[in-house]
């Protein structure tokens, strides 16, 4: 799916699936103010509150994200019978949610988390309420309401924060109903053993949860450690996709009997990370419903979470915000060739366009020198990069060492590179289709190609493109690096994702 089509799909609300959310709704309260004095009576810091913000948390934040993304959301849940419960119900109604299936239990306190913040830094959090519990009558009504709602939905989203709203009887009901009329199921929980009978489509453990589930201790090299968990997490959860979130270290996607894939994320020094996992999983779920490729689905989830993190309250993202991010003009990556042609047509009148291409697998000093020299040949440098499948065809099944997403992130960080274009399919592994759209003023290759016959030579002559060969940095190549590692280590350099 090209970027334009993807942006339109997102902007239109992912085709507006009907989603039933089950789980623990909470109220998040943020008290923001200044702390410049001590209380005279007890000599403790005083926060002078100048702003109060209430947000839906837990399953409530999932609902907010789904609604903002265009889904038609239903909810069956239980709250206490107090002011916080009424605030949650009111906020849900403001989002167009039918609250007639919310049960109020006077014997419970609604889970409420209050954060005191100064300059967006949390000083302390205090909680009200510990767990929701059902009376026999409330449980029967709850199960009956869920069974009724299942007739009219496409997706079941289980937001289990271990606070009591997902009793065993509900899982048994869902298991029985799945045998008759299966739905897409997404699960966010601390215990994926409970749900494996449902064979969920998506689950989202975080690193700490995965360590606990597998009985492992946290390590410094979290990505390396987590990449070894693929088979275990797939067996435990029986899920189709296991998206393991590692906060600053990105996301790893596990699928049964497939190699895991690691997706890095841009570094963030600050932000409000509460609810970011909810935002990620809701968008991933909607992408899955629309049968988007896994790389696109994960990328959308990461982008949405990044948008949410920059907000002052609990993280959330709308389809309009995500569509705008996808169409952002400063994005270096262009996957749609028609879009590439339009960009280059506009640039060509006032800029000298330079094009080069390569695998850029293990990035090294030779690559850095080469791209810097390529950029010096003109004003705009467009880099074609071979897809993972293309590299495997060209260099063998053990390559690439780094995935396309990882290689793109390295190129994206270089100031010399203006645009990045992935290319290569089962029909052709040369950049001719890209060159036809770019029509560069200068085509750059390494000096090793000077004595070789290149398939793109005929097109370059037709376009009137200048061909420039750049000297290589001695002994700098991915192949040489792999050989040096293997010669100096008993461990082979393995493909990691």
Sign of CA dihedral 218, 58, 46, 82: negative
- Helix then strand then coil, in percent of the chain rounded to 5, is 40, 25, 35
Burial class (CB in 10 A: 0-12, 13-18, 19+), 14: buried
Could you give the count of Cα atoms lying within 13 Å of 252 in the half-sphere of its Cβ? 25
Burial class (CB in 10 A: 0-12, 13-18, 19+), 348: middle
Element housing 76 (H / E): strand 72-80
Looking from the CA of 224 toward its CB, the CA atoms found within 13 Å total 4
Of the listed 145, 188, 278, 361, which one is catalytic? Answer: 278
Please state the φ and ψ torsions of residue 60, each to the nearest 5 degrees: -65, -35
Q: Residue 104 — φ and ψ, nearest 5°?
A: -115, 120
Say whether 278 is catalytic: yes
142 near 134, Cβ under 8 Å?
yes
Token duo for residue 249: 């270290």
Concatenated DSSP letters of 200-258: -SEE--BHHHHHHHHT----S-HHHHHGGGHHHHHHHH--SEEEEE-GGG-EEEEETTS
- Give the C-alpha separation, 17 to 26, whole Å: 24
Rounded CA separation 4/339 (Å)? 8
CB-facing half-sphere around the CA of 186: CA atoms within 13 A? 25
Contact 338, 365 (CB under 8 A): no
Euclidean distance between CA atoms 238 and 462, whole angstroms: 55
The residues near 7 (Cβ < 8 Å, ≥ 6 apart) are: 323, 326, 327
Partners of 242 in beta bridges: 203, 254
> 395 is written with which tokens?
């260099």
| DSSP for residue 333 | B
Render 368-431 in DSSP notation, one character per residue.
Answer: HHHHHHHHTTSSEEEEEEE-HHHHHHHH-TT--SS-HHHHHHHHHT-TT--EEEEE--SS--SS
Which residue numbers are catalytic? 278
């Amino acid at each position: 799916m090209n970027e334009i089509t993807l942006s339109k799909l997102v902007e239109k609300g992912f085709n507006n699936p009907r989603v039933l959310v089950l789980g623990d709704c909470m109220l998040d309260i943020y008290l923001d103010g200044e702390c410049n004095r001590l209380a005279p009576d007890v000599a403790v810091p005083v926060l002078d509150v100048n702003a109060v913000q209430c947000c839906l948390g837990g399953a409530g934040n999932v609902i907010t994200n789904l609604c903002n993304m265009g889904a038609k959301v239903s909810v069956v849940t239980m709250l206490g019978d107090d002011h916080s419960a009424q605030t949650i119900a009111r906020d849900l109604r403001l989002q167009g949610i039918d609250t007639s299936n919310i049960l109020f239990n006077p014997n419970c306190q609604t889970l409420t988390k209050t954060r005191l913040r100064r300059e967006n830094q949390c000083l302390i959090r205090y909680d009200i309420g510990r767990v929701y519990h059902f009376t026999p009558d409330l449980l029967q009504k709850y199960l009956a309401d869920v069974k009724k709602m299942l007739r009219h939905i496409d997706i079941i989203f289980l937001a289990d924060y271990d606070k009591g709203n997902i009793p065993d009887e509900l899982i048994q009901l869902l298991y029985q109903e799945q045998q008759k009329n299966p739905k897409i199921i997404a699960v966010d929980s601390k215990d994926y053993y409970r749900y494996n009978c449902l064979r969920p489509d998506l689950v989202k453990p975080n690193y700490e949860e995965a360590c606990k589930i597998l009985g492992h201790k946290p390590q410094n090299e979290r990505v390396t450690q987590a990449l070894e968990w693929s088979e275990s997490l797939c067996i435990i959860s029986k899920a189709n996709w296991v998206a393991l979130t590692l906060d600053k270290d990105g996301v790893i996607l596990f699928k049964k009997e497939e190699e895991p894939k690691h997706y890095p994320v841009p570094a963030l020094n600050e932000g409000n990370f509460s609810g970011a996992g909810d935002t990620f999983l809701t968008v991933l779920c909607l992408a899955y419903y629309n049968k988007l490729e896994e790389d696109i689905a994960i990328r959308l989830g990461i982008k949405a979470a990044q948008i949410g993190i920059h907000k002052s309250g609990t993280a959330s993202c709308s389809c309009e915000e995500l569509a705008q991010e996808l169409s952002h003009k400063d994005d270096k990556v262009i996957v749609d060739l028609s879009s590439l042609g339009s960009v280059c047509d506009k640039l060509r009148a006032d800029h000298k366009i330079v094009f080069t291409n390569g695998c850029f697998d293990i990035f090294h000093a030779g690559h850095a020198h080469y791209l810097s020299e390529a950029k010096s040949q003109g004003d705009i440098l467009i880099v074609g990069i071979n897809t993972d499948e293309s590299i495997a065809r060209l260099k063998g099944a053990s390559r690439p060492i780094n995935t396309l997403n990882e290689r793109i992130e390295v190129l994206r960080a270089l100031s010399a590179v203006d645009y990045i274009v992935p290319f290569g399919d089962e029909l052709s592994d040369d950049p001719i289709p890209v060159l036809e759209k770019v029509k560069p003023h200068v085509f750059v290759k390494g000096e090793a190609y000077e004595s070789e016959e290149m398939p793109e030579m005929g097109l370059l002559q037709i376009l009137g493109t200048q061909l420039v060969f750049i000297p290589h940095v001695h002994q700098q190549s991915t192949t040489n690096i792999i050989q040096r590692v293997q010669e100096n280590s008993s461990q082979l350099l393995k493909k990691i994702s």
